[in-house]
Structure 1
């Protein structure tokens, strides 16, 4: 239940970011986007609202149940959401115009993050894009920054340990550098707490 409670706490904070991501990414109606670690499905819902062919993938049955209830089409056979491990995406190479993920790296071990990003790159078409929204590193020493640190600390356990490791070791820029992915653009938002990064797949 902690996973659902954490998502419930974070999702309202992400409302503006959900709408910012497709604008920043330049995603057009009709383009195919896979949202990895899609959680509540809210990002897929935002894509679909804009005529973007958004699909979600998550490993948690609880989160998939929630996202399907909120955002799936009427026909179960035409599901927008897939249950799978983000380290092993069940899609062919170059299946999507974009892949995205939001606040799904900071809570995972670094090696897992690298494997997820490598898979996100694999399933994007040449000249397509990866979009990552996650905590700015370092987080600002501000009241909003304190709130985020408190939420992450309350998540506890391995989640919080991975969050601290993520901040200590450079966050998304460090992960991109290790994989040889070069960002094309970044934009910090939400009181400086979150940075959205866009990288082209060659």
Structure 2
């Protein structure tokens, strides 16, 4: 049920974001990209549609089943999608030109956010990039901002606690600074609710 709700409710809202990310990132056909916490697989599907070698990773078997059904015609042994913990990516160092993640940091505990980003950094080649789309910090004091805060509260106590910690502690810019990852460019989208960040790995 979660997978069905995600693909029918969340993905349509993010459709424009999915298209924007590879354009903003400057990802070229043939480059390798790992989408971390890939959910329904929609971002990987967008990469593949553009000739980009997109791969997805998620811990949820239900979401991976949905991903494979919607976006991956290959048999499981050759799947674009991997079941694994984002804190421990099952890939060697410098395996990808890019890593990306969308709305997958704000809901995690502080230490988990750091561990995920550290792993995303590890598997990117030197001079490669991390692309992150997550809530703008601070969120705009607008009706859309109020809607997001309400949705995050409804999502549950732990989720909302992590969301508040994320905003209070500076969001994505603060996380990247702690890991000594240099931000190259940012773009506010979706009525200012989301910021897409492009960070370069030296």
- Quickly say closer, same or farther: Cα 1:107–1:19, change in 2 above 3 A: same
When the two chains are superposed, the root-mean-square deviation of aligned CA atoms in Å is: 1.4
Q: State the Cα distance separating 1:11 from its structure 2 match.
A: 2.2
Q: TM-score, normalised by structure 1?
A: 0.96
Give the corresponding residue for 1:39: 39
**C-alpha distance in structure 2 between counterparts of 1:148 and 1:10, whole Å:** 13
Q: State the Cα distance separating 1:77 from its structure 2 match.
A: 2.6
Structure 2 residue ranges without an equivalent (≥5): none
Pair 1:86 & 2:52 matched: no
**C-alpha distance in structure 1 between counterparts of 2:170 and 2:18, whole Å:** 24
Q: State the Cα distance separating 1:100 from its structure 2 match.
A: 0.2
- C-alpha contact (below 8 Å) 2:21/2:196 kept by paired residues: yes
**Deviation string for 1:138-194 (max 9, x for gaps)?**
001111111111111111121111011101111001111111111000000000000
Length, aligned pairs only = 202
Structure 1 residue ranges without an equivalent (≥5): none
Pair 1:125 & 2:130 matched: no
**Deviation string for 1:73-96 (max 9, x for gaps)?**
243332010000000000000000
**C-alpha distance in structure 1 between counterparts of 2:132 and 2:4, whole Å:** 21
Q: TM-score, normalised by structure 2?
A: 0.96
**C-alpha distance in structure 1 between counterparts of 2:53 and 2:111, whole Å:** 30
Q: State the Cα distance separating 1:6 from its structure 2 match.
A: 5.7
1:144-163 equivalences under 5 Å are 144-163=144-163
Give the corresponding residue for 1:51: 51
Pair 1:198 & 2:198 matched: yes
